[in-house]
Amino acid sequence: MTLLAVERIKLFSTRSPWWCAALALVITVGITALIAANTSTEFPLTVGVTQAFYTFGMYVVLVMAALAITTEYRFSTIRATFLAVPNRISALLAKTVVVSLLAGVIGELVAFGSWGISKLIKPDVNIAINTAQEWRNVAGVGAVFFVGAIFAIAIGTLLRHTAGAVALLLVWALVVESLVGIIPKIGDDIQRWMPFVNGNRFLTAGTEPFPGEPVINYPFGAWGSLGYFAAISVGLLIVAFVVAKRRDA
Amino acid sequence: MIEAKRLSKHYGRTVAVDDLSFTVNPGRVTGFLGPNGAGKSTTMRMILGLDRPNGGDVLIDGQHYAGLKHPLRKVGALLDAKWVHPNRSARAHLRWLAKSNRLPVSRVDEVLEMVGLTAVAGKRAGGFSLGMSQRLGVAGALLGDPEILLFDEPVNGLDPEGILWIRQLMHRLADDGRTVFVSSHLLSEMAQTAQDLIVIGRGKLIAATTTEQFIHDATEDRVRVRSPQASRLRELLAGQALVADDAVDGALVVHGLAASVVGEVAAENGIVLHELSPQRGSLEEAFMQLTKESVDYHAHD
């Protein structure tokens, strides 16, 4: 508990988490508002549509999570941390928990903010959250942000450099995972095992695919996909921790 | 007490610390002296568990640093004053440090007061001058009221006022009976603060002794003599001492004899002296002499 308090003080005594949280909210809710305002009978507003742009906020949160650890290396405060808490795994785990929880909270704010603004703009359209699938689609965003943050912290810990970690994360999540599917023959087989694709699958399983969206034959069900995404992220985190423990700070 | 036993560290093929053993005794100020690149910082990082030695071991009161329960209460270290997030306030920086070792928040204000940063405690540390950063680093080191303190080149880059402050701090800490281990590449600086010296060059131990003894051993006394009968005096002294010529004015430089002895020899033999002056070897010269072979990068003339 002490270490969680330490990381909480650290995280909130700089401005970047506040800016990232605000940016994630404004971008996602703003774009959802534009979409909601322009829905029509041909393109109706649904619960799924209100959540379709969660990735915008997620990318910002991935950057925030990676920064939380890379700035420690950048300013050598990681050394001050390891001097105060020589058990490196505990110190890094505490940071992961605090940052991921914040990411989860931002995820819920983004999800319900997007849903709420849609409801305000189109009060006549019924987008009540009723079914378990709809709840998963909205409330699940927090879980995906939480797991994504773990993934980002693992990458940040391994690479230690802000530019490298952020570039890798964004190229991976934005480009690699979506373009790997265009490889002939094997592309689909690879894509269905991609971590962020599976995170997205957890949210969207059971909803109507958007026009033009590729149909992937996933290896797991909705919750299985989330579990798979989490297993990859935690696995990566364990590798990162072992590396951080062994190398010179 | 800090005990290093056969400590080694290499980066690829570069050897930073080579089979280094020494003991830092409790309740004294020990200077850790060596030219730049001698391995002082690497050794300090290994003491603190930041770097992993390739060989050997270093213990603090019989324990590894990593085994200390609340390390900041036992060991305070200032290796680099810039190990602070620039956008975090001085107080927030100390607050998380205090929290990590279960120290009361009131201690943060105490150490801020001690180093004279109370007025700027809420300001972001990135805007601090080097002197202020150094004070913040000292505040961090003193936070847990530790009995052992490590400082790496604490006066580097400071203005005279800052240097004086650090010197007085070292003396105050020693007077409290704390163990202080402070590194420097300046012997003159160490001569003013340290009681014991550990001298290294190229990662190897050169000397481990008291400062007094080190200076005594390292600086040889010479006597400069000018006389119209220089060649006669040279013959008389030749049996007892090493006599050289000063290339500039032809004076004799006598090694290994006190000025009084030289004067007596001259008087007994009726030799006129125009000059008889003892020359004290400088500390820096002595240090250069000792570490000459162990400097990594020589300037070429």
| pLDDT of A213 strictly over 60 | yes
| pLDDT of B286 strictly over 80 | no
**Banded pLDDT at B181 (limits 50, 70, 90):** very high
> Would you state the structure tokens that stand for residue B218, as one six-digit string?
């390292």
- Strand B29-33 and strand B196-201: the pairing is parallel
Class level of CATH domain B220-280: alpha beta
pLDDT value at position A193?
94
Q: What is the pLDDT of residues B39-81, one digit of tens each?
A: 999 999 999 999 999 999 999 999 999 999 999 999 999 999 9
Interface test with A, best of B14, B85, B138, B149 (most A CBs within 10 A): B85
Let me know: does A23 contact A60? Beta carbons within 8 Å: yes
> Would you state the structure tokens that stand for residue A12, as one six-digit string?
């909130």
Phi-psi region of A65 (alpha: psi -120 to 50; beta: other; left: phi over 0): alpha
Please tell me the distance from the alpha carbon of residue A164 to that of residue A173, in angstroms, as a whole number. 14
Please tell me the distance from the alpha carbon of residue B20 to that of residue B40, in angstroms, as a whole number. 11
Alpha helices in B116-258 (DSSP H): 130-142, 160-175, 187-193, 211-218, 230-238
The whole-number average pLDDT for the span A63-74 is 96
Let me know: does B256 contact B281? Beta carbons within 8 Å: no
Q: DSSP letter for B124, please.
A: B
Look at B68 and A79 and tell me if their CB atoms are within 8 Å: no
Look at A248 and B51 and tell me if their CB atoms are within 8 Å: yes
The whole-number average pLDDT for the span B156-163 is 88
| pLDDT of B168 strictly over 80 | yes
Phi-psi region of B27 (alpha: psi -120 to 50; beta: other; left: phi over 0): left
Phi-psi region of B256 (alpha: psi -120 to 50; beta: other; left: phi over 0): left
The single-letter code of the amino acid at A31 is I
ipTM of the complex as predicted: 0.89
pLDDT value at position A230?
98
pLDDT value at position B129?
93
Q: Nearest by CB to B96, which of A6, A83, A86?
A: A6
The whole-number average pLDDT for the span A4-21 is 93
Q: Which residues contact B15 (CB under 8 A, 6 or more apart)?
A: B8, B9, B202, B203
Please tell me the distance from the alpha carbon of residue B240 to that of residue B171, in angstroms, as a whole number. 43
Burial degree of B236 (CB within 10 A; 0-12, 13-18, 19+)? middle
C-alpha closest to that of B194 among B186, B206, B204: B186
pLDDT value at position B246?
77
Boundaries of every domain in chain A: 2-246
Helix, coil or strand: residue B201:
strand
Q: Nearest by CB to B99, which of A9, A71, A77?
A: A9
Name the closest residue on chain B to residue A94, using Cα atoms: B100
Segment among B148-162, B185-199, B278-292 with least mean pLDDT: B278-292
A122-126, B118-122, B245-249: which is most confident? B118-122
The whole-number average pLDDT for the span B277-288 is 72
Q: Nearest by CB to B96, which of A9, A16, A86?
A: A9
B253 phi/psi in degrees, rounded to 5:
-115, 115
Mean pLDDT of chain B: 89
Instruction: Name the segment(s) of chain B with CATH classification 3.30.70.980.
Output: 220-280
Helix, coil or strand: residue B35:
coil
C-alpha closest to that of A94 among B77, B74, B71, B100: B100
| pLDDT of B123 strictly over 80 | yes
How far B6 CA lies from chain A's nearest CA (Å)? 19
> In the 3-class helix/strand/coil scheme, how is chain A assigned residue by residue?
CHHHHHHHHHHHCCCHHHHHHHHHHHHHHHHHHHHHHCCCCCCCCCHHHHCCCHHHHHHHHHHHHHHHHHHHHHCCHHHHHHHHCCCHHHHHHHHHHHHHHHHHHHHHHHHHHHHHHHHHHCCCCCCCCCCHHHHHHHHHHHHHHHHHHHHHHHHHHHHCCHHHHHHHHHHHHHHHHHHHHHCCCCHHHHHCCCHHHHHHHHHHCCCCCCCCCCCCCCCCCHHHHHHHHHHHHHHHHHHHHHHHHHCCC
Q: Nearest by CB to A83, which of B77, B84, B93?
A: B77
Instruction: Name the segment(s) of chain B with CATH classification 3.40.50.300.
Output: 2-217
pLDDT value at position B297?
56
- B65 close to A (CB below 8 A): yes
Higher-confidence position of B235 and A102: A102
pLDDT value at position B213?
84
- B95 close to A (CB below 8 A): yes
Q: What is the pLDDT of residues A124-166, one digit of tens each?
A: 899 999 999 999 999 999 999 999 999 999 999 999 999 999 9
> In the 3-class helix/strand/coil scheme, how is A67-108 assigned residue by residue?
HHHHHHHHCCHHHHHHHHCCCHHHHHHHHHHHHHHHHHHHHH
Segment among A48-62, A106-120, B219-233 with least mean pLDDT: B219-233
How far A222 CA lies from chain B's nearest CA (Å)? 40
Please tell me the distance from the alpha carbon of residue A177 to that of residue B30, in angstroms, as a whole number. 58
List chain B residues with CB under 8 Å of A10. 85, 88, 96
Q: Nearest by CB to A86, which of B66, B95, B140?
A: B66
Interface test with B, best of A69, A83, A92 (most B CBs within 10 A): A83
pLDDT value at position B283?
64
The percentage of chain B sitting over the pLDDT mark of 90, rounded to a whole number, equals 59
- How far CA A38 is from CA of A31, A35, A168, B278, in Å, comes to 11, 5, 34, 97
Please tell me the distance from the alpha carbon of residue B41 to that of residue B14, in angstroms, as a whole number. 15
Q: Nearest by CB to A86, which of B65, B86, B88?
A: B65
Please tell me the distance from the alpha carbon of residue B117 to that of residue B94, in angstroms, as a whole number. 12
Q: What is the pLDDT of residues B208-235, one digit of tens each?
A: 999 888 877 776 678 889 999 888 888 8
pLDDT value at position B298?
57
| pLDDT of A176 strictly over 90 | yes
The percentage of chain B sitting over the pLDDT mark of 70, rounded to a whole number, equals 93
Look at B72 and A84 and tell me if their CB atoms are within 8 Å: yes
C-alpha closest to that of A204 among A190, A212, A215: A215
The whole-number average pLDDT for the span B195-204 is 91
Phi-psi region of A211 (alpha: psi -120 to 50; beta: other; left: phi over 0): beta
> Would you state the structure tokens that stand for residue A101, as one six-digit string?
């929880």
Q: What beta strand segments (E) does B177-273 contain?
A: 179-184, 196-201, 204-210, 222-226, 242-245, 252-255
**Banded pLDDT at B96 (limits 50, 70, 90):** very high
List chain A residues with CB under 8 Å of B89. 13
| pLDDT of A106 strictly over 70 | yes
Residues of A with CB under 8 A from a CB of B: 2-3, 5-6, 9-10, 13-16, 71, 75-77, 79-87, 246-249
Strand partners, B179: B148
Task: For the beta carbon of residue A189, count every other beta carbon within 10 angstroms.
Answer: 14
Q: Which fold is adopted by the domain B2-217?
A: Rossmann fold (3.40.50)
Vertex B88 angle, CA B87 and B93, to 5°: 155
A208-217, A236-245, B217-226: which is most confident? A236-245
**Banded pLDDT at B293 (limits 50, 70, 90):** low
How far A205 CA lies from chain B's nearest CA (Å)? 42
